[in-house]
Amino acid sequence: MVTWELLYGLLTEKNPDAARLLLIIGLLDVQSIPYIFFERNQLNKQIPCLVDFGMVEPSADERVLRVTASIRQCEQAWLENKKKWHIFEEKMLSILCEKFNEREYYTSEVLLPCALTILKFQASSTESKSCLVTLLYRVAQYYTHIGEHSVALEHLKRCLFLREGDVERKEELIKDTKQVIIEAKSKLVAVGDETQAPIKAKTDADRISKHQKDLQELQQSMGKDCPETVRKASDFADLQLQHGSSTSSKEGMALYRRVLDWSKEKSGEESIDTTRRQNNLALAHDQQGEYDEAASLYKSAFQTAERQLGPGNPEILRILGNLASLGADHPETLVTRQNVAMMLGDLGQVDESSAELEKVLAVQARLLGLNDPATFRTACSVAMRCRMKGLYKDAEKILRSTLKIQNNILGNTHRDTAMTTSILEELLQEMRKQ
């Protein structure tokens, strides 16, 4: 690390553009980056400089470029220490959004590994969120073109989720995405024809076999704990879960657990990378029908992501969305749906927040009863949303009704009762001012 910092300091003095390029491409956890990714001036001036400094290695035919594993590790640790990680993630999102064109299929095929890595990045600014959604949509369109309709559908669902959660909420784009999802589902049904099943099964088996062979070779040459091996194991697990049988899915889940353990050891349990790995393992349990294990992992990933990224971040909403898929009326899901609704309110989507909270309240009242503390808390949340919409009388009615039950069941000194009393008093003061 000390050696890398000295080299990087010299590189910055000699060629600051090359130094910035290194920080950008070093974020890509892929085995190689195609030359088509770079601009002409980068290929002519900046890449040769990076080669001279030993930061990158070009292939013999100069078609792809590789950032060595040790350099990538040093760079990423340096970015984490300098708190500059997200700056360069957003820059990379912008670059790939511009370069990845689903209509130029050769270019898309070559850049696909880079795009899939970048789709795991964070997006905090409005511009970078727009780039993330656009890239998701284009990758989905590419998968549709090559006949991978199930993979395309997953990307489209995430795209729709982000567009619906956008503060600006562009209805035309949401409508368009929903229509494309409908088309993808219909194509998926059509491809599911029995005459196509043997062909698809053989293709999937060939892909899994190739990835397994590549992983075994990496393990033998570089070891199980090498970052390149870990990344390959994660990619192989993805493939098994997407296209494998029940047995393959279990093997994929074991690989995800191994990758998660490696991430905890190298990056710590509070890192965003570990959170993403934990979410992947939760998805694997979810697919196997092991919902309790999935729910526990989703909740843990959500709590860590919320501490690191703050409420309202798209990655947090995605994890909550996964947890919510375990069943609309599951007790854990009701809590999750309430969290999502509260976040939507914080993002300014008051109507959507209120509607979801009312649905949660109705289910809680039916399953848990009106006297359950969880029902009380949701009722207060609904009242707060009514207040935000200017529906003061409705808010007052809900709060008085809730407070009456709380006084009878919990007593007037209970903290939930005291909280409802405080909320009601604030509401009444605001109503008098109005």
Nearest in space to 253 (alpha carbons), one of 227, 222, 286? 286
For the beta sheet containing 33-34, the strands, ordered from the edge strand earlier in sequence to the opposite edge, are 33-34, 64-67, 56-58
Distance CA 152, CA 187 (A): 11
Distance CA 163, CA 161 (A): 6
pLDDT at 206: 64
pLDDT at 200: 46
Distance CA 15, CA 40 (A): 16
The pair of structure tokens assigned to 398 is: 């809900």
One digit per residue, the tens of pLDDT, for the chain of length 434 reads 888 888 888 999 999 999 999 988 888 877 778 888 888 888 888 999 998 888 888 877 777 888 877 888 888 888 888 877 778 888 888 888 888 875 666 677 788 888 888 888 777 778 888 888 889 999 988 888 877 888 888 888 888 888 887 767 788 888 888 888 888 888 776 655 434 444 444 455 666 677 677 777 777 777 777 777 777 777 777 666 655 455 556 677 777 788 888 888 887 888 877 887 887 787 777 666 676 777 778 778 877 877 777 655 556 656 665 665 555 555 555 666 666 666 666 666 777 777 777 777 777 777 667 777 778 888 888 888 888 888 888 889 888 988 888 888 888 888 888 888 888 988 898 888 87
Give the long-range contacts of residues 171-178, CB within 8 A, separation 24 or more: 177/137
- Pairing between strand 33-34 and 56-58? unpaired
- Domains of the chain (ranges; CATH) run 2-193 (no CATH), 194-312 (1.25.40.10), 327-434 (1.25.40.10)
Nearest in space to 380 (alpha carbons), one of 422, 324, 431? 422
Q: Amino acid identity of 99?
A: K
pTM, two decimals, is 0.44
Which helix (H) or strand (E) segment is 65 a member of? strand 64-67
pLDDT at 340: 65
Distance CA 239, CA 233 (A): 10
Beta bridge partners of 65: 33, 58
Distance CA 213, CA 207 (A): 10
The pair of structure tokens assigned to 332 is: 């854990």
Half-sphere exposure for 218 (CA within 13 Å, toward CB): 20
pLDDT at 120: 80
pLDDT at 225: 75
DSSP 42: I
Nearest in space to 157 (alpha carbons), one of 282, 325, 305, 298? 325
Alpha-carbon distances of 153 from 103, 108, 235, 241, rounded to whole Å = 18, 18, 19, 15
